Each structure stands twice: as C-alpha cells, then as structure tokens.
C-alpha cells in the first residue's frame, strides 16, 4: 500500500488558494503516517493528509473515532506514537516547549464546549490570549477586541461587560471564535462547532465560519460528527473509520459517494 494514500494530488485547490494559474498554495499542515494509541486502544493508524493555505479540511466520522485527537496532535497537546506533524514544514513533535508555544501562536482553537472563563467578562475572555502572549497597550487591546467581536457580529458596546452566564449558546460560541482569532492566527481549528446548538443557531455559526474562512484567509480544520454542518464550509473532507481515513476528497465527491457506509453516515 502507498504509504501516503490520502495526499491532495488528485484534487486541485480552489483558484483563490492557488494564486497564479499552475502555482499551488503551500502546504500548511502536513500529517505523515500518524499512529496513536492510548495504551491498548489504537485510535489512529497511518493517518496522512495535507491542508494547503486557504483550504478548509473537514474531518468527519462517528463519535470516538479520533477526530479531536487529530486536533490535539496539530496543537501538540498530544504527541503521536509514530509519524510526523509538519506545520509550515516543521515537525512540531521535535520542538522544545518554548518552540511549541511559538508554533501555537499560528493557531486559533475553537473548543467544543464554550470554554470561556465564567468569572471574566466577554471583553476579558476575548482579550485573554493578548494579555498572555503580547505586551500590547490597553488601547490596542481594546481595538483588537472590538475588531474581533465585530468579525463575529457582536458589538463591543453591547457585549463587552457581560459575563458568559448572560449569553446564549450561540453567543458563547461566537465569543469563543472571537477569542480564537484575536491574535490573527493563520490556522483556525474548530472542534464540533455546531454541537449543542439548535438548528437555526448552528446554521448561523456555519455561515460565520464560512465567512471567516474567506475574510481572514485562514487555513482551517473543522472536526464534526455532523457532516451536513461542515459540507458547506469545507474545501476537502476526510472521513475517519476504524482508525483510518476511508475517504478524502472534495465535498461534492463525498456526497456522491456510493460507499454504503458513507451513504449511511450522510443520511
């Protein structure tokens, strides 16, 4: 078997991610033959994929299949037992603690649960990464927080002083996204962005993710067990089953798949 069966060679990226004709966007995330087990429980076997600049990869599959685990490897919260995770060509598994912190600055993460600090206001929640990692002055922080909130359609005036408990599920999700983009990451990672939201709110979050992909020109990875929710935002779909990628390709091809397992999953 080809040891890199799911690279993107067969599919040209969308024109906006490719630049001039014939020039392909650089690979930002390059997972090579990842293998990961929690003791006896093998979760990932020989997982390879690439995400090029401006692309949005959706990783789908049933609950417990290893989707969040892949995000954790990208963030280097987990180190695989074998294989490489290259970010901008650099194998992050080989980096020192300080170097990892630097690489993580390229990434924004939207967690499945809102993961907001309950005792902090919306303003302080969104400002948090800047206070942790930069020495920006107060007025610069306020400007960045205002920009970030307006990107998720929330006004500073209305929401700055609210506590998470005073927000709806959709608003919490949007604050989580505002926090994830505050340091202008080139990579945006989402874990189950629509889970726990009512269908209408889920829809607005999907629209928001789609708009941010275009406006911020980020490279995205969206993990979800709800394939319908992510079809629209992704340029590529990877489907996991039994520790492996059983489909890799554009969403149009995914929905047309004749594979009975995929059909059942979609329907």
Binding-site ranges for Mg ion (CB under 5 A): 68
Give the other-Cβ count within 10 Å of 89's Cβ: 9
Q: Restricting to residues 50-89, which ones interact with ligand ADP according to CB under 6 A?
A: 63-69
Least distance CB 153 / Mg ion (angstroms): 26
End-to-end, the C-alpha distance of the chain in Å comes to: 31
Nearer to ligand ADP, 66 or 80 (CB): 66
Q: Which does 63 bind (CB under 5 to 8 A by kind): ligand ADP, Mg ion, none?
A: ligand ADP
* Residues 14/56, Cβ–Cβ less than 8 Å: no
What DSSP string runs through 183-227?
Answer: T--SEEEEESTTTTS-HHHHHHHHHHHHHHHHHHT-EEEEEES-H
**Position among 43, 57, 73, 189 found at the interface with ligand ADP (CB under 6 A):** 43
Nearer to ligand ADP, 52 or 67 (CB): 67
Nearer residue to Mg ion within complex by CB, 58 or 141: 58
State the nearest-atom distance from the C-beta of 54 to Mg ion, in Å.
25
User: What are residue 188's DSSP bridge partners?
Assistant: 108, 220
Q: Is 242 in the site for ligand ADP (CB under 6 A)?
A: no
Q: Which residue is nearest to Mg ion (CB)?
A: 68
**Residues 6 or more apart in contact with residue 45 via CB below 8 angstroms:** 35, 243, 244
Q: How far is the CB of 246 from ligand ADP (least distance, A)?
A: 14
- What is the Cα–Cα distance from 67 to 75, expressed in whole angstroms? 13
Compute how many other C-beta atoms are within 10 angstroms of the C-beta atom of residue 60. Answer: 27
- Minimum distance between the CB of residue 111 and ligand ADP, rounded to whole angstroms? 12
Nearest distance in Å: CB 78, ligand ADP = 8
185 binds, among Mg ion, ligand ADP, none (CB under 5 to 8 A by kind): none
Strands 236-241 and 244-249: antiparallel
Residues that bind ligand ADP (CB under 6 A): 38, 41, 43, 63-69
């Amino acid at each position: 078997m080809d040891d890199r069966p799911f690279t993107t060679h067969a599919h040209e990226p969308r024109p906006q991610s490719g630049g001039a004709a014939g020039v392909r966007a650089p690979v930002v995330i390059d997972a090579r033959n990842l293998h990961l087990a929690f003791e006896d429980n093998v979760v990932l076997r020989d997982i390879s994929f690439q995400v090029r600049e401006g692309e949005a990869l959706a990783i789908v599959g049933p609950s417990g299949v290893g989707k969040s685990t892949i995000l954790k490897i990208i963030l280097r919260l987990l180190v695989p037992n074998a294989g490489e995770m290259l970010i901008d060509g650099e194998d992050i598994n080989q980096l020192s603690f300080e170097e990892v912190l630097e690489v993580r600055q390229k990434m924004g993460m939207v967690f499945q649960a809102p993961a907001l600090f309950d005792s902090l206001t919306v303003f302080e929640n969104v400002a948090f990464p800047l206070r942790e990692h930069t020495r920006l002055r107060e007025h610069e922080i306020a400007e960045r927080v205002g920009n970030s909130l307006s990107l998720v359609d929330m006004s500073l005036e209305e929401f700055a002083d609210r506590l998470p408990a005073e927000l709806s599920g959709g608003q919490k999700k949007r604050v989580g996204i505002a926090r994830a983009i505050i340091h202008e990451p080139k990579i945006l990672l989402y874990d189950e962005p629509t889970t726990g939201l009512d269908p209408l709110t889920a829809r607005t979050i999907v629209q928001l993710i789609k708009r941010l992909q275009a406006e911020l020109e980020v490279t995205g990875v969206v993990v979800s067990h709800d394939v319908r929710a992510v079809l629209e935002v992704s340029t590529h779909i990877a489907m996991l089953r039994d520790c492996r990628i059983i489909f890799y390709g554009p969403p149009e091809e995914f929905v047309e798949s004749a594979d009975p397992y995929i059909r059942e999953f979609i329907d």
